[in-house]
Structure 1
Amino acid sequence: MARVYLDSRRVIGALDRNLFGSFLEHLGRAIYEGIYDPVSKLSDANGFRKDVMEEVRQMGVPIIRYPGGNFVSGYNWLDGVGPKESRPRVLDKAWNSINSNQFGTNEFMAWCKAVGAEPLMGLNLGTGTAEEAAALVEYCNSDQGTKWSDLRRKHGFSEPYGVKRWCLGNEMDGPWQIGHMTATEYGMKAQDAARQMRYVDPSLQLIACGSSGPFMPTYLEWDREVLEQCYDYVDGLSLHRYFTNSPQDTGGDSSKFLAMNLSMEQQIEETIAVCDLVRGHKRSPKRLWLSFDEWNVWYRARTGDATNGHRQQAPHLLEEVYNLEDALLVGGLVNSLLRHADRIKVACLAQLINVIAPVMTNSSGLLRQTIYYPYKWALQYGRGAVLNLLVESPTYEVSKLGQVPYVDVAGTMSAQDGKVAIFALNRDLSKAHVVEINWQDRTPGQVLVSTVLTGGDLKASNTFDSPQKVAPQTFAKPSTSGGRTKLELPARSYTVIQWSG
């Protein structure tokens, strides 16, 4: 039996809603044929897909990173503003695709407003300059009376957008990145961009570009060198990570794959350690937060034609098909993000529509992939503060990770209404596990939500022809007696339960 000890007085930290943000890059069909499709019968007068807008609105996605990604390191934002008939068709060298520039900064701001999301703007620190970054801030955030604010007004947008959060480049440690440079070079460029941007708007929150992941030979050392240059000028540091169940990573072992969220936690903790090391060097009173602004499962649509647009517009790129085990790991990754909510203030599931995405579109509608469900549950039920749970569970051995608990649990509680939510992953591929929740300081109210994602086939996925092959099922509402709640988590499952206050 697994036991969870829940004390509402013990919390990890406040849950920033931006922990469950997402990402849209000018890549494949994420923008064109995804959120913007002016020739579609499903689009409004602005060319925005109405069904997609309604889906994103209902999901409640709080913040969306844009316009990249690898794309941003070669992007001139001026190509995407002004009269549409004057915008150039350009070659996006990152994905060997054609960008018509019919969707740009102003369209993105309008779309964000329509879906109720905050923009997280990415800046070109590859081919772009610090001066160009500051110009975009002025275009977006200054009212009037300056070169770039007056240009925005000339384009028909009188009110400034007040964009708060900005990413200073993307994966600049990567040799694949346009404008790739050394850590010291990037750190100095980020410092200059930050300074110039804050001259325009002192209220900005700026995110420096951290390591692209533990696979990099410069992992952590990059972060340290970058922060030695720009620690005093930024507020956060980015992390990226994609998880695979490929033969070279897990040997195709699903039980190891479902433990990979613990590897994410190791990456988070190592990155925090570097941030705090530099803080010590600087004797700084400021503590950086983290922006995990790319995370997901991605390993099938990752080579060859899946990543090469062959100079087409809106090619089918990175259109990963997700199965049940992918969704279970995404649930585990949600749990890991929750457990580090004291330091992670922004995180972005990469991406939102069509490209390694929970939602896919075709000409007649949209499809919810398997990973949609744990992500949607986090958005719906993760509220308030993250609880510091004590979880006791049987374990199994995983190489490089040691003893891994079969049962992985995270929880939140809202101070406003007292609602408690528990998110539980059962990694056991063959056996159900009984879980006893011990309520230390309160008795829960009635069960409001009790839902599980499970199934007999870990490789099952949803298609437009079979959209409900992997879908949530009703989970028997557990009862509480004597301060204890007992429930049985099915094998290979992810479960959410919410109680009233």
Structure 2
Amino acid sequence: MSKQKNKIQFHTENSIGELSPHMFGANLEHIGEAIYKNGVWAEVIENRKFCGADKFIWETGVKDDHLDFGIIRPWKGFNPSAKHVMYAHSNSEYIVKGDEQINRFGSGKQSQQITIRENSEINRGIKQSININFVDQEHRFSIMLKGTGQKVYIQIGELNFVIKSRTKWFEFKKNIKFTDNKTTKNLSISINSDEVFIANCSLMPKSTIYGFRKDITKLIKEWVPSYLRWPGGNYLSGYNWIHGIGDKNYRLPFYDFAWYEWENNDVGTDEFMQWCEYIGSEPMITINTGNGTPAEGAAWIEYLTGSVKTKYGKLRKKNGRSQPYNLKTIFIGNEMFGGWQIGHTDAKTYALKYDKFVKAIKKVNPNLRYIAVGACMDHFGHWNEIVLKNIKERIDELSIHYYSIRTEKDKIHPHYTSRYIPTVAASTEVESMLDKTIAEIKNNTKKPITIAFDEWNTYVEAEHPNYIENYNIADALYAGSLLNACINRGDMITNTGIYHLINVMGNYRIDGQKIWKTPTTLILELFTKYHKGKILKTSVNSPTFESPKIGKQPIYKKNKLIDASATYHKNQICLSVVNKSEKESLIISIPTHKKVSSNYLVNGNSPTDINDKKNLEKVSIKKNKLECGKDYIKVPPHSFSLFLIKV
């Protein structure tokens, strides 16, 4: 193949338009371990608000009660004894009043009750094993409880201290510094008389970024996604923003029926928006059109962007933020055609609902950009056609989502080392989908509406509840090809957002103290940093190859071996090239130029190399390692290459 003519053509005078500032974004959704437990949020204690059900196991027959009955999971009994101590999830004793979500999965408005039935010489209570990722740092422990004035004993690993309870709810805080470097420790809360109710407790490093882990935040700042879309995703269709503001200890947890898990509600609007400001990524908010109302959506926008003279602007100021947030673009709903969404609906009803939401929101902020729910091609009952013909209010972009391969629900998933060829060929299918969707939009509206391709990725082995993928070089090259395709259609595609940012199908992976980037992240870093300005019309001549069927993806007989895109800014061309060949280096003819000022390479030693907790940087970005001439470049096999060319 390398002996055949490979050619990339472009010219600085032949442009299809300006590259959108939203081309390299990402999603952050409340799902799996993206936010809590092993995610980006720095909280150490799991289920710190004691929400959900206790561990009920009827396995002891008439012998005795289960010793952990009444203890809210994942907490366990500390010196449990059916004779001496009783536990309960108390739904009558709590720190706030008002409505709660009641369902078969338990309650979010309850406290952990510990009652001593018969005095004993040892303390009894609850415990859990915790992992201290930053054991050398000072931490802040807090607990909200009420009792009878008795002593409450706290043990965190090697540290022990005593609190005197009160008959009314109160919060105790203490800064602690560990003396033992062991990262796995036991946390216990116990008493030896009367009873105590615990509403919540917390253990976090004192040094965080608005509550987010500093280490992973620093890593994300090396990319700076064009935007971050939050809070979903499917999660969004049952989310009420008003419950996620103010003092985190008083925010009620709730059960998320989209992803079937309890939500602590510690990460809300202010935490997300301030984190985006710190990273430098533009925030994009998705409005709940599932079980939400236009009034709720408008109130949220007023909280985010209204002056302190408005009702919800005053509330924002009360919560510590006087200045409005810099929010420019919002999504009106998510995948409303799908039966997996709360409040899913038909296309015409969604269009009518869209107009009601936009009308309400425009009254509090007339300057926003709006993204409507779309679908790929003419799928979901000609969704795009009906939506575009029935929406009367402003619409700037139509959202489409597409995941490639789709073997995640198969009984056996292909191993990541076995799927190189169909993975790099998956971009062929994406290009076909994009072209058909563009045609669908142009056929059904004369408005200047473009595409927000705001959810995409390969979807191979991610399963509930953690949705982990082994993203390797093949997935990175797929991403490079997909982004090249989007840039080459940048007159119609003005937004792309990979799914997902952390852990869940994640660009960044966290495993305790270990954090790392997937190969895909490296390519996104390069695209975001160097592609800007005019999009140059780019053509590629290269050999083709055949790819086998995999998952929902059919056989493709003519996949190009090379793809590329080029942009032009301040006398410099940025050229990104993907070589999909497993084994061959390729010499590629390009237009004559002054010089290649620098080049960057992502390839690995094998076509399925991967970064993981054992080898965090097996795949990395290599600078100035590529052979370049006045009118050619040479790229190694299974590689993504980026060239900065002076003209």
Match of 2:74 in 1: none
Match of 1:228 in 2: 389
Match of 2:638 in 1: 492
User: What is the distance in 2 between the residues matched to 1:423 and 1:104?
Assistant: 37
Q: Structure 2: 5+ residue runs without aligned partners?
A: 45-132, 135-204, 548-553
Does the CA-based 8 Å contact 1:276-1:287 persist in structure 2?
Answer: no
Does the CA-based 8 Å contact 1:131-1:196 persist in structure 2?
Answer: yes
Match of 1:152 in 2: 316
- The equivalent position to 1:413 in structure 2, one of 568, 574, 582, is 568
- The root-mean-square deviation of aligned C-alpha atoms, in Å, is 2.3
Q: Give the Å deviation of 1:345.
A: 1.8
Larger radius of gyration: 2
User: What is the distance in 2 between the residues matched to 1:45 and 1:180?
Assistant: 36
Sequence identity (%): 29
User: What is the distance in 2 between the residues matched to 1:231 and 1:478?
Assistant: 54
Change (3 A) 1:268 1:29: same
Change (3 A) 1:198 1:493: same
Match of 1:26 in 2: 30
Does the CA-based 8 Å contact 1:37-1:48 persist in structure 2?
Answer: yes
User: What is the distance in 1 between the residues matched to 2:406 and 2:332?
Assistant: 31
Q: Give the Å deviation of 1:397.
A: 4.0
Does the CA-based 8 Å contact 2:358-2:393 persist in structure 1?
Answer: no
User: What is the distance in 2 between the residues matched to 1:327 and 1:164?
Assistant: 30
Match of 1:311 in 2: none
Change (3 A) 1:232 1:119: same
**For residues 296-349 of structure 1, what are the alpha-carbon distances to aligned partners after superposition, in whole Å with 9 as ceiling and x for unaligned?**
122211xxxx324xxxxxxxx112121221111111112112112112222111
Change (3 A) 1:229 1:499: same
Does the CA-based 8 Å contact 2:456-2:498 persist in structure 1?
Answer: yes
Give the partner amino acid of 2:504: V
- Equivalent residue pairs, number: 472
User: What is the distance in 2 between the residues matched to 1:196 and 1:224?
Assistant: 24
**For residues 68-91 of structure 1, what are the alpha-carbon distances to aligned partners after superposition, in whole Å with 9 as ceiling and x for unaligned?**
000000001111011212100111
- The equivalent position to 1:349 in structure 2, one of 498, 510, 513, is 498
TM-score (ref. length: structure 2) = 0.69
- The equivalent position to 2:42 in structure 1, one of 29, 33, 37, is 37
Match of 1:330 in 2: 479
User: What is the distance in 2 between the residues matched to 1:245 and 1:147?
Assistant: 46
Give the partner amino acid of 1:175: G
**For residues 350-408 of structure 1, what are the alpha-carbon distances to aligned partners after superposition, in whole Å with 9 as ceiling and x for unaligned?**
11111111111233241111211111111122121221112111123456655222111
User: What is the distance in 2 between the residues matched to 1:89 and 1:256?
Assistant: 42
Give the partner amino acid of 1:109: M
- The equivalent position to 1:73 in structure 2, one of 215, 237, 255, is 237
- The equivalent position to 2:464 in structure 1, one of 272, 291, 307, is 307
Match of 1:117 in 2: 281
Does the CA-based 8 Å contact 2:574-2:645 persist in structure 1?
Answer: yes
Are 1:258 and 2:424 an aligned pair? yes
Are 1:445 and 2:602 an aligned pair? no
Give the partner amino acid of 1:85: N
User: What is the distance in 2 between the residues matched to 1:333 and 1:436?
Assistant: 22
Are 1:240 and 2:397 an aligned pair? no
Does the CA-based 8 Å contact 1:194-1:234 persist in structure 2?
Answer: no
Are 1:455 and 2:612 an aligned pair? no
- The equivalent position to 2:580 in structure 1, one of 427, 434, 437, is 427
Does the CA-based 8 Å contact 2:33-2:39 persist in structure 1?
Answer: yes
Give the partner amino acid of 2:454: D
Q: Give the Å deviation of 1:246.
A: 4.4
Does the CA-based 8 Å contact 2:42-2:208 persist in structure 1?
Answer: no
Match of 1:358 in 2: 507
Q: Give the Å deviation of 1:217.
A: 5.1
User: What is the distance in 1 between the residues matched to 2:644 and 2:627?
Assistant: 11
Q: Give the Å deviation of 1:491.
A: 2.3
Match of 1:464 in 2: 613
User: What secondary structure is seen at the aligned counterpart in 1 of 2:23?
Assistant: helix
TM-score (ref. length: structure 1) = 0.88
Change (3 A) 1:371 1:450: closer
User: What is the distance in 2 between the residues matched to 1:23 and 1:488?
Assistant: 34
Structure having the higher strand fraction is: 2
User: What secondary structure is seen at the aligned counterpart in 2 of 1:120?
Assistant: strand
Match of 2:365 in 1: 201
User: What is the distance in 2 between the residues matched to 1:295 and 1:232?
Assistant: 27
Give the partner amino acid of 2:404: F
User: What is the distance in 2 between the residues matched to 1:394 and 1:38?
Assistant: 52
User: What secondary structure is seen at the aligned counterpart in 2 of 1:375?
Assistant: helix
Structure having the higher helix fraction is: 1
Q: Give the Å deviation of 1:231.
A: 5.2
Q: Return the structure number with greater relative CO, CA threshold 8 A, min gap 6.
A: 1
User: What secondary structure is seen at the aligned counterpart in 2 of 1:134?
Assistant: helix
**For residues 259-312 of structure 1, what are the alpha-carbon distances to aligned partners after superposition, in whole Å with 9 as ceiling and x for unaligned?**
2212222222222222222224xxxxx3101111111122211xxxx324xxxx
User: What is the distance in 2 between the residues matched to 1:14 and 1:491?
Assistant: 31
Q: Structure 1: 5+ residue runs without aligned partners?
A: 281-285, 309-316
User: What is the distance in 2 between the residues matched to 1:84 and 1:253?
Assistant: 44
- Which shifted more, 8-17 or 96-105? 8-17
Q: Give the Å deviation of 1:253.
A: 5.6
Q: Give the Å deviation of 1:475.
A: 5.7
Match of 1:312 in 2: none
Match of 1:295 in 2: 456
**For residues 42-85 of structure 1, what are the alpha-carbon distances to aligned partners after superposition, in whole Å with 9 as ceiling and x for unaligned?**
65263221122222222121210000000000001111011212
Does the CA-based 8 Å contact 2:453-2:497 persist in structure 1?
Answer: yes
Q: Give the Å deviation of 1:445.
A: 3.1
- Which shifted more, 32-41 or 190-199? 32-41
Match of 1:283 in 2: none
Match of 2:62 in 1: none
User: What is the distance in 1 between the residues matched to 2:605 and 2:352?
Assistant: 51
